[in-house]
Amino acid sequence: MLKQLMKYTVLVGMIAGAALTSLQAQTPRQIHVTVTDPLNRFVTGLELEHFELIQQGVQRSITGLIPPGSPITIAVVGEAPLKGISGVDGPKDILIQTKTVADALTQLAASTNARKCLLITTPTTASISISGGIETHIVDPAMLSRVVIELRNQYILLVERSMSSEDFVVVLKQPSGLPTLRANWKPLATN
């Protein structure tokens, strides 16, 4: 009986591991992009066709776009109570405050929003690597509102998981009727 139970446990573990590997292989990587005008104001309302991704001189495929304004879940880890945080006011937006990263990750994992961010306001020297499409920042509490507004105005470009995190450039196709826009991006999330 014990031998059968051990075989069953190993089989379940192998199936779960294979499912997790399959899920990770299917999960696209993310490039977080903000677009600003000459006065450094955020520009929203762009579509997938306004973005190109060039890596080592070769155009790469962008498989999807999560636009600014889509539902977002932001978990803030810190001791001080949150005051005056603007930008998280959509009907499906969620703002979480907790004192531990573990609790924040648990609550972020439970969220159905595609956009998930972890903001840590307590001093730390630890290197933090979070997977699962969760954007992570260590933030000065005085800058929290500004960071939330920037996150709220980000486009998230989805790219193939197989794309390496080597140097790449996000090229913005200038929409007609607008001043020259600038794209600012962060490295590929390695989720």
Predicted pLDDT of residue 5: 38
Q: What is the pLDDT of residues 31-89, one digit of tens each?
A: 899 999 999 999 999 999 999 999 888 888 999 999 998 999 999 998 877 777 776 77
State residue 26's pLDDT score.
55
- The predicted structure's pLDDT at residue 89: 77
Q: Which helix (H) or strand (E) holds 45?
A: none
Report the pLDDT averaged over residues 98-114: 91
Residue 160 confidence (pLDDT) above 50: yes
pLDDT tens digits, 128-140: 667 667 888 888 8
C-beta of residue 78 within 8 angstroms of C-beta of residue 147: no
Looking at residue 57, its pLDDT comes to 85
As a whole number, mean pLDDT of residues 109-117 equals: 91
Q: Of residues 88 and 178, which shows the higher confidence score?
A: 178
User: Which one is predicted more confidently, 130 or 21?
Assistant: 130
Q: What is the pTM of this model?
A: 0.75
